[in-house]
Structure formats: structure tokens, C-alpha cells
Amino acid sequence: MLIFLVFRENSYASRIVEVEKNQKVITTGPYAFVRHPMYAGFIPMYLCIPIALGSYFALIFFVPATMVIIFRIFDEESVLLKNLEGYGEYTKKVKYRLVPGVW
């Protein structure tokens, strides 16, 4: 559900890390609580889908998938800080990347 809320709120959401012409920082909806709510939705999904399907072997991939997301967050933030006007101020207002009060 969180991922659908992200797409509803952020028309710039993409699988490619880039800044589009006239792109604005999104600060509403789930972006008011964490800077990367789509990834915050992906992580529990990567944990729950193998359990729901009874494929406990697939849980092995949870940790590497989570690590890829964390590395992508660092890469994405460096691109956004450099290329998206207002993102630096947003990071000061919304301090947490994935989990409010944690990180």
C-alpha cells in the first residue's frame, strides 16, 4: 500500500536515478515522514512475500536486496543533493531516510 501512495504522491518516481526538468521536491504524503518511502515499502515486501508463498529458501535474498536498497539510497541522495533545488533543505526538515526515529 505504501508503494501505491508513493506513486500517487510523486509523479517523478522512477527506476532511474535522475532529475527531470522543472522537478520539485515532494514533501507531502509519505514524504513528510521519510525521504524514501518507496524503499521503506519494498523492504517489508521483500521479507513477507517469501513467507506468504512458503518459500523460506527465498528469504536468503532478503539481506542482499536490503543492502542494494541502502546503497541505492546513498547514490540517489548524492544525485538529488547535487541536482535538485531544495533537496538539501528537505533533508534538514525530514531527517529520516526509511524508518521515522531510526534511520
Q: Give a yes or no: residue 100 inside a domain.
A: no
pLDDT in tens, 5-44: 888 888 787 777 888 788 899 999 999 999 999 999 999 9
pLDDT at residue 16, as a whole number:
77
Q: Does the structure show a pLDDT above 90 at 95?
A: yes
pLDDT at residue 6, as a whole number:
85
CA-CA distance, 59 to 95, in Å (whole number)? 30
Q: Give a yes or no: residue 99 inside a domain.
A: no
Give the total number of structural domains in the chain: 1
CA-CA distance, 24 to 14, in Å (whole number)? 14
CA-CA distance, 102 to 79, in Å (whole number)? 23
Q: Give a yes or no: residue 52 inside a domain.
A: yes
- pLDDT class of 3 with cuts at 50, 70, 90: confident
Please spell the DSSP secondary structure of 70-92, one letter per residue. HHHHHHHHHHHHHHSTTHHHHHH
- Residue 100 neighbours by CB under 8 Å, 6+ apart: 33, 34
Whole-structure pTM value: 0.84
pLDDT at residue 74, as a whole number:
96
Q: Give a yes or no: residue 83 inside a domain.
A: yes
